[in-house]
Amino acid sequence: MKKLFSVILLAVLVLAAANTAFAAVRIGISMPTQSLQRWNQDGSNMKQRFEAAGYEVDLQYANNNVALQVSQIENMILNGADVLVISAIDGASLGTVLAVAKDEGIPVIAYDRLLMETDAVSYYATFDNYMVGTIQGKYLVEALDLENRTDPVNIEITAGSPDDNNARYFYQGAIDQLMPYIEAGKVVIPSGQIEFEQVATLEWSSERSQARMDNLIAAYYAGGRKLHAVLCSNDSTALGVTNSLIGAGFTKEEFPLITGQDCDVANTKNIITGYQAMSVFKDTRTLAERVVTMVQAIVNGEEPEVNDTETYFNGVFVVPTYLCEPVFADINNYEELLIESGYYTREQLQN
C-alpha cells in the first residue's frame, strides 16, 4: 500500500510541476495601435486563446509610436517573456531590441506584418497579402465587367502605409489584376497617380485618405466626370474616401465601387447601406489560433507548421511563414461570413 501511495504521490507531484512550468510560460504580444478596430480584435483574440491554453500574457499597444513599441518590447524581455509575438508599426525599426531578444534566446513571431532587416525573427504568421490585393482587383474587374465592356471606366487608387511591408503586397496584387485593362485603355486613372509612392497613405489614416480624395475630386471630378471605382487597400482608407465622396455630394445612385479590407464595423455598415462594395475578410480568430498553435509547437520543442518558405524575404533571409487564406464580404454574403459565424452580432451592424 505504501508503495502504491508513493507512486501516486510522485505522479501528482510530477503533474503539478509540469502544470506549474507550463503556466509559467509567458507570451509578450506587441500590437501597433488601438486606433484601428482590427488590432483591438487581434490582440483580444490572441490574449483569450493564449490564456485559455494556460499561458501568461503581456499584451501591449504602442499607439503608432515606434519608440513606445521598442520600450514595451524591452520591458517584455526584462519581465521574462518566453516568446514574443510582434506586429510592428514600422517593420524595419525594431532591429536593436530584437537583437536583444535573440541574445536572450527568445523566439519571435512576426504577426501579420513582416519584421524587416533582422535575423532575429523566427516565424511569420499572416494572411496571404498578395491574395488580398488580388481579391480586390478581381472584384473590380468582375463588377465593372472589364472583360466585355467597350467604354472606359475611371478609377482612382488609395494604397496603404509605406512603412508597412504588407501594403506593397496588397497594392501589387490589385494592380496586377487591373494592369491589363489599364494598358488596353479600358481603365483610366484620371489623376495619373498609379505608382505606390503616389497613392500610399501614411499610418493607414482615414483623415489622410479623405484629404487626398478631396483634392482628387476638386482637381479631376468637379466638372461632372464619372468616377466608377476607388481601389482602397483597407477599411480605414476606404472610410476616408467614402466620407470625402459623401461630402462632395456623390449620391448613393452614382457612388463609385469602393474596396476595403478587414470588415470593420463602420465599413460593413457601409456595405449594407450601399456606400462600400466589398471588404476582404481576414478572420482574426483564424490567425490568432494559428499563432497559438505555433507557440505551442515552440514550447514543446517542435518546429511549427509553415506553408511558405519562398516569398517573405525581409532583407536578411526568407522568413518561414504560415499563410491563412482571406475571402471577401459584400452585400450578398456578409450575413453568412460575419453574423452567422459569430464574428459580429446583428445588433453591432445596425445603423
Please determine, for residue 35, whether its predicted confidence score (pLDDT) is greater than 90.
no
Residue type, 172: Q
Please determine, for residue 351, whether its predicted confidence score (pLDDT) is greater than 90.
no
pLDDT of residue 15: 44
Name the CATH superfamily housing domain 129-281.
Response regulator (3.40.50.2300)
Domain ranges across the chain: 2-121+283-325, 129-281
- Residue-wise pLDDT for 94-139, tens only, equals 999 999 999 999 999 999 999 999 999 999 999 999 999 999 999 9
Please determine, for residue 14, whether its predicted confidence score (pLDDT) is greater than 80.
no
Q: Tell me if residue 335 falls in helix, strand or coil.
A: helix
Please determine, for residue 5, whether its predicted confidence score (pLDDT) is greater than 90.
no
Please determine, for residue 273, whether its predicted confidence score (pLDDT) is greater than 90.
yes
Please determine, for residue 11, whether its predicted confidence score (pLDDT) is greater than 60.
no
Share of the chain above pLDDT 90, in %: 87
What are the C-alpha distances in Å from 183 to residues 138, 175, 259, 299? 16, 11, 21, 51
User: What's domain 2-121+283-325's architecture?
Assistant: 3-Layer(aba) Sandwich (3.40)
What are the C-alpha distances in Å from 332 to residues 178, 194, 256, 271, 277? 23, 30, 18, 10, 10
What's the pTM value of the predicted model, to 2 decimals?
A: 0.82
Same CATH fold assignment for domains 2-121+283-325 and 129-281: yes
pLDDT of residue 287: 92
Cα–Cα distance for residue pair 101/188, rounded to 1 Å = 49
With CA atoms as reference, report the closest residue to 82 among 33, 23, 39: 23
pLDDT of residue 197: 97
Residue type, 173: G
pLDDT of residue 75: 98
pLDDT of residue 19: 46
- Residue-wise pLDDT for 308-335, tens only, equals 999 999 999 999 999 999 999 999 999 9
With CA atoms as reference, report the closest residue to 287 among 28, 111, 54, 26: 111
